[in-house]
Structure 1
Amino acid sequence: MPHLLRAMALLGVLLVAQGVSAQKLRIAGDAWAPYSDVSLLNGGLSTDLVRTALSRAGYTTEYEQVPWARAIHGLSEGRYDVLINAWYSEERTRIGQFSGEYLLNKLRFLKRKSTDIEYRNLAQLHPYSIAVVRSYAYAPAFDNDVDLKKVPVASFSTAVRMLAAGRVDLAVEDEYAARFALSREPDEVRDNIVFVPKSLSENGLHILVSLKNPDHDKIVADFDNAIAAMKADGSYDKLFKLHDL
């Protein structure tokens, strides 16, 4: 009996130590279906991938869905440890450390069916107004082109409604996210919008870990290793199927 009690006590100590050592990360993202949205299964594909990878790496997570600008600001101040959906930009390296690419997004322009706008290069688009979501980074050439007439908006839903109403000439968004959003818009919006042939860019999707977290290097390394392991054992692909992507 004494041996059993000692074994149980040791197990209790180990469990307590494990609980203490598991770092709880405050993670954030905006509503960007089908990748992140609290109304979707497990919060959407990106949310599911990130939380699963971090869990496998030994972290616990607490997720908060907030507007994109608030998520970026919160990460810069250290209120959030991890931003789950981030495209690379040099400016963001001042507030966080990027993981490796864990998803790939294809950026497409959208226009009204009644227009004949074509896209072969950015110079062709200088005459047109383009709705862009505030604080989003799209592609370096696009972001840095000061001759483009960019109209900042709060969300892609706002952008596409302005586009349908003729208040802007173009909008830009990840293809899957745009298709998902359009499927939930009124007929007069959805049926009036088409994709412009040719992608603006293909962007790797990363997590961005706040530099305010002293363990940012380790969190990024642990996440990258967990994603690699998930790809190797098939669980990565299973999550895509679970989310019908």
Structure 2
Amino acid sequence: MIGSSRRRRLLCGVLGAFCLGGLLPTSAWAQHQPGALKVRLVSTEFPPYYASDLPGQGILGALVVDAFHRAGYAATIEFMPWARALQEAQRGYFDGIVGIWHSEERARNFAFSEPTAANEIGYYLSVVNQFDRKRLETLDGLIVGTVRDYRNPDVITRLKPKTEETVDDATNLRKLAAGRIDVALVDRRLAEHLLKTSLSNLRGKVIFSGRVIDTLPLYVAFSKSVPGYEAKLSALNRGLVILKTEGRFPLP
């Protein structure tokens, strides 16, 4: 695992390569490749990693589509709320799901690719709601905001604090700013992106605690209920190796 600052530079470099040279194909591009084998993937809005309104559908969205292209597949990504995306992928309505954390429970229904990047999960806090930061060690008496059907970090499973689920990370940060929860569990890059864009009105109202509590690799997972999933998994991994060899992979 490389340092967070170097990883951030690598992620930005991949995005910069896409924006400047059009090097990474998009899902729209993939849809018009005659004769290519098709792969239908699903995900949720999770910028800057992947989102429907980002160039190339995000850093990792573009990476996954390009990796499949290198292996002779045309991949498309559709976006919907996470809980629905996970359910529809599991039932085989899509070949797989982009940007998922591994768990033993999920591995019963999905086959996981090689890791594509990693989320740095940490606590976000309200500037107004002051409490002894030592309480973050135990979370005793604190309400922690989580997202429905996300896999929570091990520390949350171990400490078992009171939690409140919501549909997405943006809603979680809004609840934090409104004082409805004490702590929000959020990926640091995602929160930074939201606070610069759609949640810019919350800048200065919520802050990062300064501590990453868990680093969780991101995968593409293929539904075992879809016939031939093994070939698509193998194709993606081959494409990722090619991009890694070319230095176009976010993680070495």
Q: Determine if the TM-score, normalized by the shorter chain, exceeds 0.5.
A: yes
Measured after TM superposition, the shift of residue 224 of structure 1 is: 1.7
1:181 alignment partner in structure 2: 194
Correspondent of 1:73 among 87, 90, 113: 87
Correspondent of 1:214 among 219, 227, 240: 227
CA distance in 2, matches of 1:230, 1:116: 46
Computing the radius of gyration from Cα coordinates, the structure with the larger value is 1
TM value normalised by structure 1: 0.82
The answer as to 2:216 corresponding to 1:198 is no
Secondary structure (helix, strand or coil) at the match of 2:152 reads coil
> What are structure 2's unaligned runs of at least 5 residues?
1-32
Measured after TM superposition, the shift of residue 48 of structure 1 is: 0.5
Secondary structure (helix, strand or coil) at the match of 1:195 reads strand
CA distance in 2, matches of 1:120, 1:103: 30
Measured after TM superposition, the shift of residue 164 of structure 1 is: 0.5
Correspondent of 2:241 among 216, 228, 243: 228
- The one-letter code sitting in structure 2 at the alignment partner of 1:94 is R
CA distance in 2, matches of 1:201, 1:186: 24
2:55 alignment partner in structure 1: 41
2:108 alignment partner in structure 1: 94
> Structure 1 runs of 4+ off > 3 angstroms?
119-122, 185-188
> What are structure 1's unaligned runs of at least 5 residues?
1-17, 241-245
Correspondent of 2:120 among 106, 112, 128: 106
Q: Give the percent of matched residue pairs that are identical in Structure 1 and Structure 2.
A: 26
The answer as to 2:68 corresponding to 1:54 is yes
CA distance in 2, matches of 1:40, 1:186: 16
1:118 alignment partner in structure 2: 133
2:146 alignment partner in structure 1: 132
- The one-letter code sitting in structure 1 at the alignment partner of 2:179 is G
Kept after mapping to 1: 8 A contact 2:110/2:221: yes
- Root-mean-square deviation (Å): 2.2
Secondary structure (helix, strand or coil) at the match of 2:64 reads helix
Secondary structure (helix, strand or coil) at the match of 2:51 reads coil
